[in-house]
Amino acid sequence: MRADARKNRDHLLAVAGTAITEQGVDASMRDIARRAGVGLATLLRHFPTREALLEALLHTSFDELTTKADELEKSASPEDALVSWLRDCVAWTTEYRGVTVLMAAAIEDTESALHASCVTLRAAGARLLARAQAEGAARGDIDGTDLFALIAALAWLGDQPSLAPRADHLFDVVASAILTSAAGGPAGEERRPRTRG
Amino acid sequence: MRADARKNRDHLLAVAGTAITEQGVDASMRDIARRAGVGLATLLRHFPTREALLEALLHTSFDELTTKADELEKSASPEDALVSWLRDCVAWTTEYRGVTVLMAAAIEDTESALHASCVTLRAAGARLLARAQAEGAARGDIDGTDLFALIAALAWLGDQPSLAPRADHLFDVVASAILTSAAGGPAGEERRPRTRG
DNA sequence: CACTTATCTGGAGCACTGATCCGAATAACC
DNA sequence: GGTTATTCGGATCAGTGCTCCAGATAAGTG
């Protein structure tokens, strides 16, 4: 890759990062190019599709999440590891407004530039889930894809301005559905933390 | 309203119904007008925004859902009424691909043409929820807005082609989180409370 | 029936989107 | 310094939702 091309690529990635953080993943490609002081064609040659751009941008974040899953698998209880990782996943998506829809589309689309990353993420979650299920800490009738879908749904909630205020609370509700031990009590009863101690 | 205008309006509604059923709520306004053999301006005068068009189109569906809630409130047990109505809501959205996002936006946007309908729907759900909570059949730490958000999230899942196959199952998972009764999932998986024993 | 008027219509055009083409600029190599 | 393969970005295209306005037309009146 030629030196000028490399420079342009790096600069475009930096500018795209701020633009997408500000305006969400639907930020105008033309606008990103403009803010980078570059023609639209240049942006589109480096990143032929919006997904390709996002892949380059989010790659490290994906890696961090899978690494985190590995760490939690060793350090925390199955239950805490699962819930804590889920929370991290959902929290992460809030940085990139709108990314959920693209991830949902990418998980089954082998052509998508985001496909591999999404599959890796699902696998990491599946491992944590299986570990929790083996101990009876998580219900047995869900798998990695279900988990991915639940993460996506909760992340989508956080993306909707009107529903976002409830996202944290509803995370707890859904988490309680995943965990076997939180099968509920009478109405109004306070749910107690169940950290293994 | 002039006779020709009325005729155009009715025809546009019919055409829009089929177009949206086929292509989802993001169907091109220009395309709808074209299929109705009418100029784009004519469509947009009758329905100034896409939401106005949808409101006219979905109004009866909304009414049916609220009516259904009233009926269930009288005929079924609090728990069955709530779950059955939730299922109906989620199932209904599958007819109009993409409507979830608009509804989520409309619930807090008093300017939206869909606002009133969404608020009514939320109120209907809130009544069923409150009734279930009063009997201890549903957890007490959620309200009508939470319920609306959960419906929206589950409907969104059904909208995503890659996640849709899990939507029904995940509905059960979320439903089990709403219901207090530990007598559990239709999946019949063992749920061993860890506090026992 | 003839005429006026208020209403409705839809093509043309706006600014915007992602995507593609291709002549011009330029870095890399000899 | 010269050659060549790469990269660049303005111009352009088809598409979107939306607005304007001159012309068509239905409804009301004498």
Question: Is the distance between the Cβ of A29 and the closest atom of strand C smaller than 7 Å?
Answer: yes
Question: Is the distance between the Cβ of B143 and the closest atom of strand D smaller than 7 Å?
Answer: no
Answer yes or no: do B137 and A104 touch at CB < 8 A.
no
Per-residue pLDDT tens digits for A7-17: 889 999 999 99
Give the count of beta carbons closer than 10 Å to the beta carbon of residue B14.
12
**How confident is the model at residue A181, as a pLDDT?**
58
Kindly state the average pLDDT of the residues A124-143.
96
Q: Average pLDDT of chain B?
A: 89
Q: What is the pLDDT along chain B (197 residues), one digit of tens a residue?
A: 777 788 889 999 999 999 999 999 999 999 999 999 998 999 999 999 999 999 999 988 999 999 999 999 999 999 999 999 999 999 999 999 999 999 999 999 998 889 999 999 999 999 999 999 999 999 999 999 999 999 999 999 999 999 999 999 999 999 999 998 543 333 334 444 444 32
Q: Are B65 and B89 in contact (CB under 8 A)?
A: yes
B45 half-sphere exposure, CB direction, 13 A CA radius: 10
Q: Which of A65, A56, A192 is nearest to A123 (CA)?
A: A65
Answer yes or no: do A166 and B152 touch at CB < 8 A.
no
Q: Residue at minimal CA–C1' distance from C7? A: B2
Per-residue pLDDT tens digits for B132-155: 999 999 999 999 999 999 999 999
Q: Are A51 and A112 in contact (CB under 8 A)?
A: yes
CA distance B146 to B141: 9
Q: Residue with structure tokens 């279900």?
A: A146
Find chain A residues with C-beta within 8 A of B149's C-beta: 157, 163, 166-167, 170
Answer yes or no: do A136 and B194 touch at CB < 8 A.
yes
Indicate which of B26, B141, B142 best probes the interface with A, i.e. most A CBs within 10 Å of its own CB: B141
Query: Who among B167, B177, B187 is closest to A176 (CB)?
Result: B177
> Which residues, including other chains, have CB under 8 Å from residue A165's CB and lie 6 or more apart?
none
Prediction pTM value: 0.88
Q: Which domains does chain A have, with CATH numbers?
A: 1-48 (1.10.10.60), 50-197 (1.10.357.10)
DSSP string over A42-62: HHHHHSSSHHHHHHHHHHHHH
> Which residues, including other chains, have CB under 8 Å from residue A157's CB and lie 6 or more apart?
A163, A164, A166, A167, A170, B149, B152, B153
Find chain A residues with C-beta within 8 A of B138's C-beta: 187
CA distance B166 to B24: 20
**How confident is the model at residue A191, as a pLDDT?**
40
Kindly state the average pLDDT of the residues A61-74.
94
